[in-house]
Amino acid sequence: MNRTADLDAALGFVTGRVNEQATLSGEPLDVQQSLLLANLPSSTPDIWIPDPETPDPPLVPRDVNYERLCALAKAAYLNDRKINPESLDWEFAFGVFRLNRHPMWGVLHSASVKMYRRPLWDQLFVIIAALFPAIAAILLAWNGPGTLFQWAGVLCGTVAIMLFIYFTSRQIEQWQLENHIERCRHASRNISWKTS
């Protein structure tokens, strides 16, 4: 897997589809929007979604250009879903952007592109990581009052295991993203082979 080639392919696909959708809408991207699409900032602005329970929106300056890019990406994604529901091009791009921590991930996320559903054992890891400190304290208290050395050992062990779980979960997520990208690539080859 060549991450740079995948990133270039994903960027080319998404920027091309956003530009096509803008042209189809009758309002092609202006210079500022084109520059923003080509050079997204590393931290994306929050888009306020109205909430019926909150009467007043927060006072946050709007980035109309970014909002338009997100709306165009969503329209292009939904249009592609209607035309060819088997295509995994958007999911491929989403996985590549997420794996590379590229800012385009935020645009696709706001366009409601979803990659896959996490396996149940991921949730089990999260639950174990959350309960581990409590289990360690219960086990230590069960053995009676300990010395300062025992408490320090349990604390260090707990921190070490939590760090191990964190870094292991990051590696598992990266592995899942790479597998997802390969599945999308394989499915794309099969679809193009069937249509040709």
Whole-number pLDDT of residue 149: 77
125 and 51 in a common domain: no
75 and 25 in a common domain: yes
Whole-number pLDDT of residue 4: 84
pLDDT < 70 regions, the chain: 1, 43-61, 115-122, 125-126, 129, 132-133, 136-146, 188-196
34 and 131 in a common domain: no
161 and 101 in a common domain: no
111 and 134 in a common domain: no
Whole-number pLDDT of residue 63: 77
83 and 168 in a common domain: no
Whole-number pLDDT of residue 86: 80
Q: How far apart are CA 112 and CA 110, in angstroms?
A: 5
153 and 73 in a common domain: no
pTM: 0.66
Tokens standing for residue 2: 């060549």
24 and 110 in a common domain: yes
Position 113: which residue type? V
* Boundary residue ending a domain (115, 133, 151): 115
- Rounded to the nearest 10 degrees, what angle do helices 89-99 and 3-24 cross at? 130
* Boundary residue ending a domain (115, 141, 159): 115
Residues of the domain holding 101: 3-115
* Boundary residue ending a domain (115, 134, 164): 115
Write the CA distances from 149 to 140, 146, 155, integer angstroms: 12, 8, 10
93 and 71 in a common domain: yes
153 and 68 in a common domain: no
Whole-number pLDDT of residue 161: 79
Whole-number pLDDT of residue 76: 92
Position 141: which residue type? A
185 and 164 in a common domain: yes
111 and 128 in a common domain: no
How many domains are contained in the chain?
Answer: 2
